[in-house]
Amino acid sequence: MKQTAVLSAANGTNAAAAQSMVAAMLIIGMTDNAVPAMAEKIGLGQFYILRTVVALPLLWLMARSGLGGMAPGRVWPVTLRALLLAVSMVFYFSAVALMPIAQALAGLFTSPIIIVLISVLFLRMRIGFVRIAAVVAGFAGVLLVLQPDPADFDWLILLPVAGGLFYALGSIATGRMCQGESTVAMLFVYLLVQAFLGGLALAGLEFWPQPVPEGSEGFITRGWVWPLWEIWHLVLLQGFAAVAGVFLITKAYQLGEASFVSVFEYSVMIVGPGFAWIVFGQALDFWQVLGIALIIAAGSTIALRSK
């Protein structure tokens, strides 16, 4: 009887964790589609700073309501983790501004594959045939979605893959160095690092100005821009997403088993491109849909086999 109650409680927390993760992916998948519209008006550095300015008061309210303290227990490990994830998002948001969101997400979700490769090459972990096959299938899926042209290779398609690399390193740092840290504290440090990188980018452009193409292609090299009235609602939306999405992701991992919860993270591969298709007409061809399916299958297999 007691064992049944324990199993029922575990199933309940896993279900709550899955719901939390899917909610996070709905928020992120939909709101990240607004980035190209922001990229037409402002630059990456300004985007990072405005996101932080909007998010910090929301985070303070969460801390005041008892959801966790804002001071990390170990400053340097939490800062390193924040730096890795903030750099990851620099590459990811740059990719979202310059290419369809399906391609940006495909590159970012190379992270489970990269985690396995890092674990094998540097952490001496041994893996079986199933995970080797999953890595190969996931890599094939990424190629199908990105569709690189060997005859006319565009280095921009490596932007989201670079994001996936730093996301993988940030995930490893979270698991190995940040156990027991408050969710609010980790998010607070992440936002501060994000603002620092935004300020660094703007200062660099002030001293070494670069050509700024029209529209979203100028996202990476554009400095500070006024006024903001045309996109203020999108700035607020991104600030909300930065807090709510990341908090729900972290909460999901706190509630359920990591190997179970991480499978639901792949729902963003459906939500993001699906929203882009319905609202913005970003259609996918058969091979890209197949590639997304392979990425989801490979990532889910790697997560479940890591249990």
- Structural domain containing residue 204: 2-305
**Higher-scoring residue by pLDDT: 275, 11:** 275
- Write down the pLDDT at residue 1: 47
Task: Please provide the distance, in angstroms rounded to a whole number, between the alpha carbons at the two ends of the chain.
Answer: 26
Identify the CA nearest to 29 among candidates 37, 41, 40, 21. 21
- Write down the pLDDT at residue 259: 65
pLDDT class for 181, splitting at 50, 70, 90? confident
CA distance 73 to 89: 24
**Is pLDDT at 8 greater than 50 in this prediction?**
no
**Is pLDDT at 244 greater than 70 in this prediction?**
yes
CA dihedral over 304, 88, 26, 17, signed as positive or negative: positive
Region 21-37 average pLDDT: 92
Number of neighbours of residue 158 by Cβ within 10 angstroms: 16
What's the domain count of the chain?
A: 1
**Radius of gyration of the chain from its Cα atoms, rounded to whole angstroms:** 19
Class of residue 163 by CB neighbours under 10 A (exposed 0-12, middle 13-18, buried 19+):
buried
**Is pLDDT at 232 greater than 70 in this prediction?**
yes
**Higher-scoring residue by pLDDT: 122, 307:** 122
**Is pLDDT at 11 greater than 70 in this prediction?**
no
Region 33-43 average pLDDT: 93
pLDDT class for 180, splitting at 50, 70, 90? confident
Is residue 162 a contact partner of residue 47, using CB atoms and an 8 Å limit? no
What's the whole-model pTM score? Answer: 0.87
- Write down the pLDDT at residue 211: 92
Region 163-167 average pLDDT: 91
Region 124-131 average pLDDT: 76
Buried b (16+ CB within 10 A) or exposed e, 6-43: eeeeeeeebeebbebbbbbbbbbbbbbbbbbebbbbbb
- Write down the pLDDT at residue 2: 44
What dihedral do alpha carbons 93, 94, 98, 100 form, nearest 10°? -30
Counted residue by residue, the chain has a size of 307
pLDDT class for 198, splitting at 50, 70, 90? very high
**Is pLDDT at 12 greater than 80 in this prediction?**
no
CA distance 185 to 250: 11
Residue 197: HSE in the Cβ half-sphere, 13 Å Cα cutoff: 23
Is residue 111 a contact partner of residue 137, using CB atoms and an 8 Å limit? no
- Write down the pLDDT at residue 306: 61
Q: What is the pLDDT of residues 86-100, one digit of tens each?
A: 999 999 999 999 999
- Write down the pLDDT at residue 178: 84
**Higher-scoring residue by pLDDT: 132, 20:** 20
pLDDT class for 257, splitting at 50, 70, 90? confident
When mean pLDDT is compared across 113-127, 188-202, 236-250, the lowest value belongs to: 113-127
**Conformation bin of residue 210: beta by default, left when phi > 0, alpha when psi is -120 to 50:** beta
Region 276-298 average pLDDT: 90
Computed over every residue of the chain, the mean pLDDT equals: 86
Q: What is the pLDDT of residues 40-72, one digit of tens each?
A: 999 999 999 999 999 999 889 988 888 888 899
- Write down the pLDDT at residue 254: 73
